[in-house]
Structure 1
């Protein structure tokens, strides 16, 4: 069974005839950014102005619309793609469908208009897509409910105990678990969004490509949140000149991109420092990429260093201010000690958490091996292999339901962005 979905353009109000000039694009983008600034960055700006200049401006109580960052980025993609001729303007219904497409509206992925528009009239709904979509949704739920939420519960217990005293190992365990939680939480949501879109006939590209296998921060950003990286490359980095205008300009362009990446995630200095740290290391990697000393460093050392940087930087996500971040780092380094500790790492790292952590680490690294991926594809092509896959996914779904029923509500981490 196959259904072709084609828009009836005669019944839709077309905006195809609008010619978007440079001034129109600039005004449109500035208006979109002004709306985003009002909801997300106004109070942050007022707070910092008051701190540095002691003006006494009053902060406002503003409730930001759900998914405001993702909607605004999609709107900018729509305008710029039309202006550059990489896509045609859609009718009003197509435009609204793109901006409010429910699988991606809350936490992405940020699909470019040129990729979305091409599928509106040509998408197909068939049994294979529906099965693949449902499978992807189940995998996403498993990542979220079995792994991410379980890691989150353990992190919450460690943080509560920190008020009374924890040991160094528990502090480091919390850092490792958050590194796994944020990956499986966001990757799980992306799987669900991609799966729902597939059921509806849309084929979205992958948003993650085993980022914890990266041997550099540059490679990490080619594998992590791929849609966001693509957006910044297409609409910020390349328009600024990319790497076509010499090393100095390339460094400036990279600095701008990572500053914006940091502040996009949230109106806080922790996010800005997180973006600056990642950007600084990417710039250093770009400078030394052709140096002989860089080529001599073993891959295992590069991977270990990159993952250590990623793990520490994620802590800037976990805390809302730098004082809390440094307090936790002080515990990790043994500079803050406690006279009495009720619960040590042995309590938190019980048998269940050992199993889940092992699965989480292996799933984020070893399962990304190309040979394993190819073998999986070959096995699933057979009838027995496909039946085994579906049986395994059914078991995962049942376990996910049990985890959901037995645990408290844990919203997706990227809902706040």
Structure 2
């Protein structure tokens, strides 16, 4: 069957003056911003999109295209797998479609407030992709700042918007399932922001709603994310038995057997929980298995953007650092800390602050006071002051330092450095 040309993408490229090579370069740069390494697209890739040979690119490519163009991926003429592409339209119809998209975008907020059944609007995957594009901004903000109430509130508001959209018109079962999955993803991000900020009672409320939404969606990936977050929450609460039980639910989902990267994340978080439980053998075994699973994962598999945005070798080492620090194996913790920092993607400011602080703790526990202070002073002021977990860990670092080396020049240096935070904010 002959492929149908992507007229929408061709029209966008003509309007904005992009050649195939120029668009490929822009997409590669956007991929770099999303995952920390450039894409590998070239002019031939773009020509494959235009010709219709590739109708639905991989997830990270779709996000990059949306970033470059500012349009939802379906508005660029791409068609999700399993759907039939519409027949080429006449120029008059193309103009009408463009006006329709503009109108729909303008009334989205009004439609979301409509009562059930009061609108004849047809909700489609384009609406879902528009929500997911805004979700990508929340994920990026979380990686920069983390734990902030504003991030939690924005994610929760997006979840509510997705649910309101369910009642704003008619939709296929597939679209409704995707809206529930999106609402569950947004709510789980609100849950994560609350966990990261130490607001655990609120996190539990988000968790319950996210779990219910995930069940309605039937989406395995988001079920994994929510139960994995739940395990992390209980780990931070010092309840390793509950943490293991929740993480086991995530690891029992068939997505972990289908995709080794999900299996790797589940095992790495299990290793972190074993660290809290003081199970040295279990932690070592879990991290070895997580590393093996990561080695089997293929880079081109279809995966959700939230997973692509953070889970890599650096995150695995970060979890190992946390576990071995809890176990009191400070040299191993320090080794993982250095490995994590060397591999962290530039945009992961929150993770860099947490890892740097933990690394300083590992060095201090080995009596390396000067090196530890030097490392701790690299934590950026916004994280040191405003991120609850980083702020708490740095406070504990200072207390331990003063106990180990009271009245020393190193303590004086640290005291002066932390005093400067108050004037910098």
Task: Name the TM-score, length of structure 1 as normaliser.
Answer: 0.28
Q: Which has the higher contact order (CA 8 A, sep 6+)?
A: 1
Task: Name the TM-score, length of structure 2 as normaliser.
Answer: 0.28
